[in-house]
Amino acid sequence: METKICQNCNNKFVIEKEDFNFYEKIKVPPPTFCPECRNVRRLCWRNEMSLFKRKCDAPGHDEIIISFLPPEEKLVVYDSKAWWSDGWDSLSYGKKYDFSKPFFKQWKDLRDNIPLQALSNITATNSDYCNVAEASKDSYMCSASWKIEKTFYSNRITEVKDSSDLYIIYRSELCYEDVLCSDSYRLLYSLNCKSCVDSYFLYDCVGCTDCFGCSNLRNKSYCMWNQQFSRDEYLSRLAKYSLRDYKVISELKEKFRELCLQSLHRFTIQIKTVNSTGDNLESTKNCKMCFDASGKIEDVKYSHWLAIDAKDAYDSGPGVGQAELVYDVFDTGIGNFRNLFTSVVYSSNEIEYSFNCHGCSSLFGCIGLRSKKYCILNKQYTKEEYELLIPKIKEQMNEMPYKDKKGRVYKYGEFFPAELSPFAYNETVAQDYFPITKEEAEDMGYRWREKTKTEYKISIDAKDLPDSLNDIDDSITKEVIRCLHDGKCNDRCAGAYKILEDELNLYCRLGVPLPRLCFGCRHDERLKMRNPMKLWHRSCMCDKKNHFHGAEKCKTEFETSYSPDRPEIVYCEKCYQQEVY
C-alpha cells in the first residue's frame, strides 16, 4: 500500500496492494492522478450529447451535417457513411515515430489531419441527432444508447421503445420521465423501479401494476400514496387527477419529491452483488467503487456505465462491455482484451492510446483503423519491427513526457491530457458527473465554451402554452418555444426548444402535458435525481425495535452514495430488507 499526492488536485490517494498487482499484470506504472481525477480526465474526452452543425469535409461533399465535434475545432470531419466507406485510406495518414517530440504531440498532429467520424455511431437509421447510439431507429437526441426505437431526449438507455426523457433505463417501453428504471411498461415520472406497469410517480417499487404515488412497494396493485384500494376505488381516484394538465403534474412532482424524501433508502442499489462497493450495481463480483454496472462484472475497480461481461478492468467506462484486462478506456468492448487508454475501440486486442479502431490488434497511437495489425501512429510495421519499437517509445515517453499548461506531466501510463481533447469541459459528460463553473474550469486548466446563441426566432413562451394537452393541436410543432429557464439557469439551457411531430404523438399516446423546459434543462433535472459517483462511510440509521439489533440502534456500517448531510433515511441491507419485503 502506498499513499500518493494527486498531480491534478493535490489531494492524497491510496494505491492498494491489489491495485499494484493489477498494474503489474498489465505492465503499466502506478497512476499519478487520483481515481476521481482520472475519471474526470477520461470524461473530458467523452461528449455524449453536445451536437453541432458543421460542414462535411469528405471529397465532393459540401453539405451541413450534425456532429459531436465542435465546428470551432480545426478537424477533418466526414459524415458517417463517407467515414465508413473505402473511399479513403487511414494508413496514408501514418507518420514515422519522431523521437524528438513528445508522443501526445505527435498523436494530436495525426488527429488534426485524419478524417474523423461526425457522430460516434455504427448503425443508426433515421437517427441523425443521436450520438454514441448503437442500433438506433427513428430516434432523436438520444445518446449512450443501444437498441432503441422511436425514443427521444434520453441518455444511457438500452433496449427502449416509444419513450422519451429517460436516464439510465433498461428494457422498457412507453416510458416517460424515468430515472434508473428497468423492465417496465407505461411507467411515468418514476425513480429506481423495476418491472412496473401502468404506473405513475413510483419510487423504489418492484413488480407493481396500476400504482400511483407510492414508494418501497413490492408486487402490489391499485395502491395510491402507499394506500391499498380496490380496483374500482383506485380507478375512480385516478380519474380525478387531470394528468394532461401541466399544473397538476407540477404539483404531483412536488408531492412525489416529498414522498421520496420520507421513504426508506437502501445504502446503495445493489442486486445480486458479491463483495462489491458502489451504486446501481447488478450481478457484480469483487467490484470496488463501481457505478451503473450490470451483468457479469467481475474484479473491476473505479469504473462506471459497464454492461455484460467485464473482467479485470480499472478506470473503465462509460460504455465498456465484453472486455477483459482493460485500463483507462471508454466506449471499448465486444471481444476486447488488454486494451489501454482507448476509446471507440471494438473487437480488438492489445491496443494502446488509440481511437475509433475496429477489428485490430497490436496498435499504438492509432486513429480510424480497421482490421490492421502492428501499426504505430497509423504507420504499418512488421511484427518484429513493432515489437522492437514499442519499448523504445515507452522509454521515450518517460524521458520526454508531455507537459500541459498547468505543469502536469504525462508519461507512459497516463490517459490523454484533457487539454488536447476537442471538447470543452462543459460539452462533455465530465460536466454531468463532476459539474463545475466556468471559473473553476479555467482555474483547473480545462477549456470552457459558451454555447453559440440559437438562431431560432422564438414564437411562444413556455409559460404561455395551454395548460392541458387537450388544448394542443399539430400547429405546436411549428412553434419555437422559449424555455422557462430562458438561459438563466446554471444548467445547459439552450434557451428554446421545439416539439417534433413524433414527440407530440407520443405525448398524446401517454396523455401527458408538453414540457416547459428545453432538453438541456430537462436532462439536468434528471441528473439531479441520481446520487453522485462517490461513496461515504456511514452507519445504518435504523432504530426499529423488532429488528435483529433489538432495542439498540443498528450499528451496521457501509459505503453509501448518500453523503452524511443529506436528509434521507438510509438503512443497511438487512434493515431495509426487513422493512420493504
Applying CB under 5 A, the residues found at the interface with Zn ion are: 6, 8-9, 34, 37, 483, 485, 493, 518, 521, 540, 542, 544, 547, 554, 556, 572, 575
Q: Nearer Cβ to Zn ion, position 136 or 560?
A: 560
Q: If we measure between CA atoms, which residue out of 296, 292, 315 comes closest to residue 305?
A: 292
Min dist CB 267 to Zn ion, Å, is 9
Min dist CB 492 to Zn ion, Å, is 8
Q: Nearer Cβ to Zn ion, position 26 or 569?
A: 569
SS (H, E, C) 538-577: EECCCCCCCCCCCCCCCCCEEEECCCCCCCCEEECHHHHH
Min dist CB 464 to Zn ion, Å, is 16
Q: Nearer Cβ to Zn ion, position 46 or 485?
A: 485
Distance (Å, whole) CA 119 – CA 133:
9
Q: Nearer Cβ to Zn ion, position 286 or 556?
A: 556
Min dist CB 482 to Zn ion, Å, is 9
Contact 322, 313 (CB under 8 A): no
Min dist CB 575 to Zn ion, Å, is 3
Min dist CB 364 to Zn ion, Å, is 27
- What's 256's DSSP letter? H
Name 156's Cβ contacts closer than 8 Å, sequence gap at least 6.
143, 144, 145, 167, 168, 169, 292, 305, 318
Residue 85 three-state SS: coil
Q: Nearer Cβ to Zn ion, position 394 or 485?
A: 485
Q: Nearer Cβ to Zn ion, position 244 or 408?
A: 408
Min dist CB 130 to Zn ion, Å, is 20
The grid coordinates listed for 255 are: 408531492
Min dist CB 21 to Zn ion, Å, is 22
Q: Nearer Cβ to Zn ion, position 99 or 548?
A: 548
Residue 443 three-state SS: helix
Q: Are strands 52-55 and 12-15 parallel, antiparallel or unpaired?
A: unpaired
Q: Nearer Cβ to Zn ion, position 6 or 345?
A: 6
Name 306's Cβ contacts closer than 8 Å, sequence gap at least 6.
290, 292, 293, 294, 297, 300, 313, 316, 317, 320, 321
Contact 461, 481 (CB under 8 A): yes
For CA atoms 107, 112, 118, 122, give the dihedral sign. Answer: negative
